[in-house]
Structure 1
């Protein structure tokens, strides 16, 4: 349906997860849909979904169980895509974008936990990079990433932040080589300087956190994913055995000392543990003066949790209402982004949409 259309829009490049069943890049599925009122939502293709899409003339129409719901919009084509770098690589295969309007990079797009059979059970990074995302680059030499960064800044788009996500190198020296060096290149290329966010695995040597800040990072996230200690061990076995639940919290506290209150974030996934545990975890994070980042679980093809049910509307609503209470209790806490994002409703909750 989308492959036959002529208009340009931001297509899903599957930078670090598969998300859609039975699709190829050439199918041109958008990464998000625009719902109006500045709201965006992920597009996840699932057989048997009660939701469906079809074009009616120029309008893309959303239906629920066969009944018309609304006309939806497609995300704007990324103005920094379609550019050729000096080494012949296209910016499309270098730059990632998170949601509709947040450009950045996915550095070191692999995770050594896969080699040990200890990857997080919901993660489809390696499946994505070996199939639908295979054209994307894996290396980020200094010249390549500086040129790509300049294309972002010279695109005419308002870019308040460059967001960088990483896989998990084997050791801290690997981090310095494949993550820290590209971060320095991004910072050096930015003119004027803008915020740089980093989502990564905490280092073994917590002193590396200071190196991130010196490289230009202005906020950082270490996502523990699961608050319940036993479920963390079973769902994230590599993080548990090869790093450790308690050390994860130590790393978050150390990062807060470096970056300041609520400039460090910890993500948890709604739908992978009991509601009470998620609620307790959200408060534990905010009470440590660490920012909260939540994600709604989506069952990706090619993962151990591909058949796990996604959380119900009732559960998401209950968690969002509790999150709203917590934002009132901890008013200094904000969200990483100041826009609606695809797999989270933190921004909506923080802005009072849940009452």
Structure 2
């Protein structure tokens, strides 16, 4: 396994220790975390200017997760940013390049930084309808810090995406000179299908209409009650879609994702995935599961079941975010992450038509690394 991936797995498992204010006075321009959909770091404020990811080399990035008891330390030695493990130097790291479509002001006075989201280090997109009605019922997913983030550190971010605003922001993205392989859109969970049409479908159509030339659009969302909306997603320009079930084990799904279980249903979730696969095609529909929230064997079974259904696999590694019911749950061990990664590698060989959503390394998953042979 490449040393950069060894370090990434360990950092995802343990997090990093560093002073919150270590970046405040930095003159370097880099992509700073806007916390669009999770808090990740206890006590962090915008003024701390924390990067969303670190560059590990070998085209790998890793999430900046501040954890007080981590054996990993991040610190500046002069102008060089270094990683230490139990006091021993491991490697120098870089900061993600500042995104050229940030720092602009739209005609309605809103900053692009507060409209556009960015995933990993390079992939732009939007977080449409940044809320989830399961919180109102006390039935939110137990690992989710979306509402806590949006009511605190991410409060400056916009919540409304009228057509003019989103088209203008999309043109800033496309005219920035940045290589844009796709625009990726994440959503919260509206109350009903009519809200989906208004808060998600309409902005998606605006993004598609603004793109010239057209580019791929990925959508991560909650499946609708009326499956015909999945066809509407495709008609407005979505080229791939993900419905993340998160937990494969049925009983654990019920306890960890109570809203999804009671108000939508485990079996209906799989039905929605199958319907979407028939609309978008084999392996153009993705299902995400989270490593570390169920036994390793259950995650392995779930990964294989997903791929065997001709659905793409999307994994994430659990991180214990402040403001959630699982804030004190241990993150998965290096051994468990490594075992799951090795099994995922076998599955990619068994299902060669399956790929990853992104063609780049992402911050809290190693799907791309596994698919591209970094374990070998």
TM-score range, shorter chain: over 0.9
Aligned partner of 1:304 in structure 2 is 325
Please tell me whether residue 35 in structure 1 is matched to residue 56 in structure 2. yes
Superposed CA deviations along residues 78-135 of structure 1, whole A, max 9, x for unmatched, are 1000000000000000000010011000000000000000000000000000000000
SS in 2 for 1:328: helix
CA–CA distance in structure 1, aligned partners of residues 40 and 313 of structure 2? 23
Aligned partner of 2:247 in structure 1 is 226
CA–CA distance in structure 1, aligned partners of residues 116 and 310 of structure 2? 32
CA–CA distance in structure 2, aligned partners of residues 87 and 346 of structure 1? 39
1:327-342 correspondence runs (5 A): 327-342=348-363
Superposed CA deviations along residues 302-322 of structure 1, whole A, max 9, x for unmatched, are 000000000000000100111
Within the candidate set 258, 264, 281, 1:237 is matched to 258
Shift of 1:50: 1.2
Please tell me whether residue 162 in structure 1 is matched to residue 183 in structure 2. yes
Please tell me whether residue 256 in structure 1 is matched to residue 277 in structure 2. yes
Please tell me whether residue 152 in structure 1 is matched to residue 170 in structure 2. no
1:68-83 correspondence runs (5 A): 68-83=89-104
CA–CA distance in structure 1, aligned partners of residues 236 and 244 of structure 2? 21
Shift of 1:278: 0.3
SS in 2 for 1:223: coil
CA–CA distance in structure 2, aligned partners of residues 62 and 354 of structure 1? 22
Shift of 1:240: 0.1
Superposed CA deviations along residues 319-355 of structure 1, whole A, max 9, x for unmatched, are 0111001001000000000111101000011112223
1:251-290 correspondence runs (5 A): 251-290=272-311
Superposed CA deviations along residues 127-183 of structure 1, whole A, max 9, x for unmatched, are 000000000000000000000000000111100100000000000000000000000
CA–CA distance in structure 2, aligned partners of residues 208 and 285 of structure 1? 22
Within the candidate set 106, 113, 116, 2:127 is matched to 106
SS in 2 for 1:344: coil
RMSD: 0.5
Aligned partner of 1:95 in structure 2 is 116
Shift of 1:62: 1.1
Shift of 1:10: 0.2
Within the candidate set 200, 203, 224, 2:221 is matched to 200
CA–CA distance in structure 2, aligned partners of residues 353 and 84 of structure 1? 40
Aligned partner of 2:29 in structure 1 is 8
SS in 1 for 2:127: strand
Please tell me whether residue 354 in structure 1 is matched to residue 375 in structure 2. yes
SS in 2 for 1:180: helix
SS in 2 for 1:343: coil
Aligned partner of 2:161 in structure 1 is 140
SS in 1 for 2:187: strand
Contiguous gaps of at least 5 residues in structure 2: 1-21
Shift of 1:56: 1.7
SS in 2 for 1:54: strand
CA–CA distance in structure 1, aligned partners of residues 66 and 96 of structure 2? 17
CA–CA distance in structure 2, aligned partners of residues 177 and 131 of structure 1? 26
Shift of 1:263: 0.1
For normalisation by structure 2, the TM-score amounts to 0.94
Runs of 4+ in 1 over 4 A off after TM superposition: none
Shift of 1:299: 0.4
Contiguous gaps of at least 5 residues in structure 1: none
Aligned partner of 1:129 in structure 2 is 150
Please tell me whether residue 175 in structure 1 is matched to residue 192 in structure 2. no
1:19-30 correspondence runs (5 A): 19-30=40-51
Within the candidate set 42, 46, 55, 2:76 is matched to 55
CA–CA distance in structure 2, aligned partners of residues 147 and 336 of structure 1? 26
